[in-house]
Amino acid sequence: MSMTLAIFGIVASITAVFSALSRRGRRWLVRDFTHYKTIIIAWITGNLVLIAAACLHLLSQEQSEIGAVVAIMMAISLLIFCLTMLALQRRPQNNTRPRRFLAVGAHPDDVELACGATIAKLVDAGHDVRIVVMSQGESGGHAPRRIQEARRGAGYLGAQSHTVWSFCDTRLSENSNLMVAAIEEEIAAFEPDVVLTHSATDIHQDHEAVHRAVMRAGRRLPSILCFESPSVGNDFSPSFFVDVENYTNVKVEAIKLHADQRNKPYMTRARIESMANFRGNQVKQQRAEGFEVMRLVSTTVGDF
């Protein structure tokens, strides 16, 4: 009986550990818990205490009890993990005053790189976010994989929906009228309160083309903000900042989902964190994402 319990306990505990420490498990912890590291530390500490207690017990008792001791140990280990998760506050979910945010990027990873932390924060505050990508990124990678990664990235951040259009990568400006029509279609369907897109200062020709297309398509919209892609020029000058101290890890994990682009120098955790620290320092916060304001209606300001 004790051996059966021991085997059950071992299997359950090992499953829990591998689930939590696997790439997918860790991603879930990072996305759903502000203090996810505390969960792991508490769990490891609890287990070390348990192992020590079990060893002391076995040294002073019959060795035949080993099965029961291991079973109890594993059960308590699982309990520590679950209680720590319950005790820690999940990321705040607030469904008051929902707004619709439309983020438009040129390539599959642009929105995550530029404002992934802000998107996740908006979703957790109860807002609707839609991500639109204008090209499949076929010039810089494997298009089918990039489409899939865009879907995963949007899903991980919590966007309610996303679309990937198939305008020709690196030559978006050649289809500016068609792009305007496509963005107008997205705007008509989603009716966003705020649109987030590339900056006019961006030196990537596709990013600049998307900026111009959004400004034309969104000419009747009240609020348009421009995000900071890695390719913005020195003229990029944010005047609106979102505090993302607890969301930089979420952004890092979302960017990792774009494995097709993982060798690009701007995809690293160090680069993402240093940019968040730099923008945070500008507004006396730990970490922030900066936006240029094309125009912004006051009723949306508090929603960030």
Binding site for Zn ion (CB under 5 A): 106-107, 110
d(CA 72, CA 137): 53
Structural contact between residues 197 and 214, judged by C-beta atoms closer than 8 angstroms: yes
Contacts of 267 (CB under 8 A, 6+ apart): 109, 113, 255, 256, 258, 261
Which of 72/195 has CB closer to Zn ion?
195
Cross-sheet strand order for the sheet of 100-105: 161-167, 128-135, 100-105, 194-197, 224-226, 288-295, 240-243
Q: Quote the least distance from Cβ 110 to Zn ion, whole Å.
A: 4
- Between residues 27 and 107, which has the closer beta carbon with respect to Zn ion? 107
Q: Which one, 61 or 139, has the nearer CB to Zn ion?
A: 139
DSSP labels for 247-278?
THHHHHHHHHT-GGGTTSGGGSHHHHHHHHHH
For the bound state, the minimum distance from the C-beta of residue 109 to Zn ion, rounded and expressed in Å, comes to 7
Q: Which is nearer to Zn ion, 216 or 264 (CB)?
A: 264
CB of 114 to Zn ion, least distance (A): 9
CA dist 298 and 304 (Å) reads 11
| Shortest distance, position 27 Cβ to Zn ion, whole Å | 23
**Which residue, 42 or 226, has its beta carbon nearer to Zn ion?**
226
Using CA atoms, how far apart are residues 172 and 155, in angstroms rounded to an integer? 25
- What is the helix (H) or strand (E) element at residue 288, kind and residue range? strand 288-295
Q: How far is the CB of 207 from Zn ion (least distance, A)?
A: 6
